Amino acid sequence: MRQERDALVVAVTGPLDLDSVAPLEEILRKADEDGVARVVVDLSAAPFADSTTVNVLLQAHSALGPALRLAAPSAALERLFTLTGLDTVLPLYDSVTKALDAEPAAPLGADGGDREG
């Protein structure tokens, strides 16, 4: 976890599932409580996520709204997000830099366009 510009960047490592997603959930909850302007979840080192993770991200989106951004998902995570429709709710970016540069955060599909980046 690090501050970059006006954002909290959370680097996730390893698979995200029922047994491992709690720290991410806690960080996102605390970011909401602290009123963080933007939260970028760097998924570049997360090869897998399950439905528990999707639920955590949806709850975080409910709390943080457009402040929450997902960056650098693997092909497997992109597929999960597409199958679950999460890609239409949360903005996905090819990299942390693109997530930080983008203003304002707009969910994929909100304007009929393609993935950000």
Contact, 89 vs 65, CB < 8 A?
A: no
106 in a domain, yes or no? no
Residue 110 covered by a domain: no
CATH number at residue 59: 3.30.750.24
Domain membership of residue 97 (yes or no) is: yes
Alpha-carbon span 37 to 7, nearest angstrom: 6
Helix (H, G, I), strand (E, B) or coil at 62: helix
pLDDT for 107 beyond 80 = no
Task: Indicate the number of domains in the chain.
Answer: 1
Residue 75 included in any domain: yes
Sheet of strand 2-4: strand arrangement? 2-4, 7-13, 38-45, 68-71, 92-93
Does position 112 have pLDDT exceeding 50, yes or no? no
pLDDT tens-digit profile of 33-60? 999 999 999 999 999 999 999 999 999 9
What is the span of the domain harbouring residue 95?
A: 2-101
What's the chain's average pLDDT? 89
Residue 34 lies in a domain: yes
Residue 12: inside a domain:
yes
